[in-house]
């Protein structure tokens, strides 16, 4: 059974940093791209970032480019999202998602339960 | 960026009746491999999104056959041939042909 478990969320002040983690299990982790998608309170879904199976290729939404960094550790079946210079508009539930292929240009077949990040003073 | 436009914004359906949701993209989603890079997701109340359809028309594993996806290029449709109470939630289309990957604004389906 595929499981994706996010951790690391919480309340942070504007300008602060957080690192989200996603522990994956139930599939051959190093053969699939992974992604982060967020949902602001009461709003729709927004793609944040994706990383290829090997970690060589990554891409970001313009809204987070230069502030967020996605990475993965295939030896630990983990994917991370380092979030710096956080803004109020980054407040959202962040979902870890498994892409259905190795490439970042694919959709998602499994989603985590999501974790809330609140940026507020 | 590719803009995804869904209609209607909301839909109230009698159980057992059909429902249809439209998704239009501002650019063609047809890949050179012949597949449309369009997926449909359902986010049930209080839950994470779940995939229904990928590559335009391929039903994901475990998805009931009352759901179907069709269309090509820029116009796509999700159809539910007989809506059930468990189908309530917000439906999203998403393109994955180009980054940034983009979602439609969502269609809320309720039961009458």
Beta-carbon separation of A44 and B103 below 8 A: yes
pLDDT score of A46: 98
pLDDT in tens, A15-30: 999 999 999 999 999 9
**Residues of chain B contacting residue A111, judged by C-beta atoms under 8 Å apart:** 48-50
| φ, ψ of residue A72 in degrees (nearest 5) | -145, 155
Minimum CA–CA partner of A103 in chain B: B96
* A60: nearest Cα among A87, A43, A38, A89: A38
Residue B69: per-residue pLDDT? 98
Identity of the residue in A46, A47, A109 whose CB atom sits nearest the CB atom of B51: A109
Instruction: State the best of B99, B104, B108 to mutate against chain A, taking most chain A CBs within 10 Å.
Output: B99
- Identify residues of A whose CB sits under 8 angstroms from chain B CBs: 37, 44-47, 50, 59, 61-62, 95, 100, 104-114
User: Is B103:B6 a contact under the CB 8 Å cutoff?
Assistant: no
- Report the residue of chain B nearest A4, measured CA to CA: B48
Name the β-bridge partners of A49: A36, A60
CB contact under 8 A, A46 and B103: yes
pLDDT given at position B63 = 97
CA-to-CA distance for B8 and B23, rounded, in angstroms? 9
Q: What is the mean pLDDT of each run of 10 residues along chain A (121 residues)?
A: 97 98 97 98 97 96 98 98 98 97 91 98 95
Tokens 């039903």, residue? B59
Tell whether B81 lies on the interface with A, counting CB pairs under 8 A: no
- Is the N-terminal amide bond of B6 cis, ω within 30° of 0? no
Residues sharing a CB contact under 8 Å with residue A11, sequence separation 6 or more, in sequence order: A118, A119, A120
- The answer to whether the beta carbons of residues B76 and B63 sit under 8 Å apart is no
Tens place of pLDDT for every residue, chain B, 112 residues? 999 999 999 999 999 999 999 999 999 999 999 999 999 999 999 999 999 999 999 999 999 999 999 999 999 999 999 999 999 999 999 999 999 999 999 999 999 9
What is the per-residue pLDDT for A104?
A: 87
């Amino acid at each position: 059974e595929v499981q994706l478990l996010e951790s690391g969320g919480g309340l942070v002040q504007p300008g602060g940093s957080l690192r989200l983690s996603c522990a994956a299990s139930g599939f051959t982790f190093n053969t699939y791209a992974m992604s982060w998608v967020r949902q602001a309170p009461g709003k729709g879904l927004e793609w944040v970032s994706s990383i290829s199976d090997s970690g060589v290729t990554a891409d970001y939404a313009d809204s987070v480019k230069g502030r967020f960094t996605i990475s993965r550790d295939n030896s630990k079946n983990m994917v991370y999202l380092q979030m710096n210079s956080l803004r109020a508009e980054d407040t959202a539930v962040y979902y870890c998602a498994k892409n259905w292929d190795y490439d970042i240009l694919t959709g998602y077949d499994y989603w985590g339960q999501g974790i809330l990040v609140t940026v507020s003073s | 960026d590719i803009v995804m436009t869904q209609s209607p914004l909301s839909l109230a359906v009698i159980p057992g009746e059909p429902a249809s949701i439209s998704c239009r993209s501002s650019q063609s989603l047809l890949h050179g491999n012949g597949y449309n890079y369009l997926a449909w997701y359902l986010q049930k109340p209080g839950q994470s999104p779940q995939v229904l359809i990928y590559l335009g028309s391929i039903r994901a594993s475990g998805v009931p056959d009352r759901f179907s996806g069709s269309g090509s290029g820029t116009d796509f449709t999700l159809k539910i041939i007989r809506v059930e109470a468990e189908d309530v939630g917000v439906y999203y289309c998403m393109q994955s042909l180009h980054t940034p990957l983009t979602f439609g604004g969502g269609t809320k389906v309720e039961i009458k």
